[in-house]
Amino acid sequence: MGLPPALLIAWIEELEQFGAARAPDQGIVMVGPMLIQHGTVEQQQRFLPKILSGEHVWCQGYSEPNSGSDLASLRTEAVQASDEKGAHFIVNGQKIWTTLAQDATCIFMLVRTDKHAKKQEGISFLLCELSTPGITIRPITTLAGEQEFCEVFFDNVRVPAENLVGRLHGGWTVAKALLGFERIFLGSPKQSQYALGQLARLAKSRHLETDPIFMQRYTALRLDVADLTAAYTAFADIVKQGNPLPASVSLLKIWASETYHRIGTLLAESCNELGAVAGDQLLDGQSFNALAPLFGSTSAMIYGGTNEIQRNILARQVLDLPA
């Protein structure tokens, strides 16, 4: 629909409200806004319509083995070259934890274009079609038994020079702008609200409302979710007004994922022995997936920058604590 930020957030909130599955939308929430800010007119005309039509499905190629939290140490290399077909980059290296790469058609990625510059200053931002010869995608099975992310290998992959976003060696600036869009979506209270609903359903079916210890923990979690929802609304309002998110948005990601994790823990504990079994289980005549929120929240504390890294950001950029 090509919505402005305020309506895009409202649209995602409505989908979540009705429990609709979220399509792989990294093109819409990340690549599109980034191209509008940093792409050339030619890139906008080439990529934006295909993002909106769903023809292009994007995945994010940042992390590498040994380059996760310390992302700027990444080593996937792109070397400039030129031949009769035009200027291009030759890419070699490996990405990992690339969510849904097996279903995507394109990858946006950070590559090293200058090995001698300071870490952040030798990185460029490239767009690449996953059908390009030399790319191998190998799905990884998660703890939950699902194939959700992949290893992506690049072996002499030719990427046209016009797929460079921003200036050569200027990819870090583009990547940081794009993270801003990601942060608000990572702070959504919906996962916690959903898990809390599961907990309420379990409490009803197992008559846990009469257990004062359970009720004390459940009530505290309800209040935590209310706090999270209020904090999310405040940050979402900043985005809706078209303003950049402050560094303090890191607290939203921490609060969202850790509240979700606390609920997941109580859900698994309250299912007694079935809390140790993966998948849907019948409990007192009702179906529960006791471990799903615990698995989901454990990875939520890692992806999008781990909670330890978010705490470092708060310490340095918000609280001004010494390094």
Residues that bind ligand FAD (CB under 6 A): 59-63, 68-69, 97-99, 149, 299, 302-303, 305-306, 308-309, 312
Q: Could you tell me the CA-to-CA distances from 223 to 80, 109, 233, 259, 286 in Å, in that order?
A: 54, 39, 15, 10, 26
Least distance from ligand FAD to the Cβ atom of residue 155, Å: 19
Nearer to ligand FAD, 202 or 292 (CB): 292
Q: Are strands 86-99 and 147-160 parallel, antiparallel or unpaired?
A: antiparallel
Nearer to ligand FAD, 186 or 202 (CB): 186
Q: Which of 205, 221, 322 is nearest to 264 (CA)?
A: 221
CB of 38 to ligand FAD, least distance (A): 18
User: Phi, psi (5° rounding) for residue 177?
Assistant: -60, -40
CB 69 within 8 A of CB 142: no
Relative orientation angle of helices 5-17 and 190-206, to the nearest 10 degrees: 10
Give the residue at shortest CB distance from ligand FAD.
68
- Pick the closest to residue 294 from 177, 192, 204, 146 (CA basis): 192
3-state helix, strand, coil in the chain (%, to 5): 50, 20, 25
Q: Distance (Å, rounded) from C-alpha 56 to C-alpha 26?
A: 10
Pick the closer one to ligand FAD by CB: 194 or 303: 303
Q: Is 306 helix (H, G, I), strand (E, B) or coil?
A: coil
Smaller CB separation from ligand FAD, 132 or 299: 299
Nearer to ligand FAD, 113 or 270 (CB): 113
Where in the sequence numbering do the catalytic residues fall? 182
Q: Which two tokens stand for residue 280?
A: 């849907």
Number of residues assigned to the chain: 323
For residue 150, the minimal CB distance to ligand FAD (Å) is 9
